[in-house]
Amino acid sequence: MVTARDEWMTDFSAEQLSKKVKRFYKIYSSEQSRWLGVSASQPKDKKKRADALRKFVSREIKWTEELESHLDRGTVLQFDAACLRQATAYRPFVQCATYYAKVMTHRIYLQNRIFPISGDWNNLTFGFSGAASSKSFSTLGVNILPSFDLLEKTQFVPLVRYDDAGNRVDNITDWGLKQIH
């Protein structure tokens, strides 16, 4: 996962993280109210509107294009304590709390299939440094939500994945298991 705002979405203390995320939501909500109050006078052209919004919002928090788009559409975001995750592999052998939610976690990629956003998970993944890594090849197994740069451009292979209904699905096919044996 990529938060694109680690200073707001991760912390070594879940209590401090909760305070930071609530403050983030408060600022987002305030900026949304301000924007929606003047948005009728803003350009209708999508690119010009996005540029106007980018110049408009307070840089007190870390914005991404996706978050600005949600603000413009009027998406209401609210703090959810269930999105606070206690164990996150942030760097090798370093764990911290993270706020793991669809809009707030900038890039979830396929992590939701490996470590679902809602509910509990029980999974083991093996991470490999990515092809674009500037460091030598490395691998690490984790059973907690990993950061994208855990091993620099990390790619993960999970033991199981979760379907849309939250069911565990074995990620090793019978054919693959036979090849391994």
Query: pLDDT tens digit string along 144-166?
Result: 888 877 887 788 899 999 998 88
Tell me, what's the pLDDT at 63? 96
Tell me, what's the pLDDT at 39? 82
Residue with tokens 């609530």: 22
Tell me, what's the pLDDT at 7? 93
Tell me, what's the pLDDT at 10? 92
Tell me, what's the pLDDT at 151? 81
Tell me, what's the pLDDT at 108? 83
**Can you tell me the distance from the alpha carbon of 85 to that of 147, in angstroms, rounded to the nearest whole number?**
13
- Total-model pTM: 0.86
Output DSSP code: residue 136.
P
Output DSSP code: residue 83.
G
Question: In 3D, which of 58, 51, 104 has the Cα closest to residue 82?
Answer: 104
**Can you tell me the distance from the alpha carbon of 79 to that of 76, in angstroms, rounded to the nearest whole number?**
10
In the numeric block, which tokens belong to residue 134? 């500037």
Under 8 Å between Cβ of 103 and 75: yes
Question: Which portions of the chain are predicted below pLDDT 50?
Answer: none
Strands (E), 6-144: 10-11, 84-91, 94-99, 125-128, 139-142
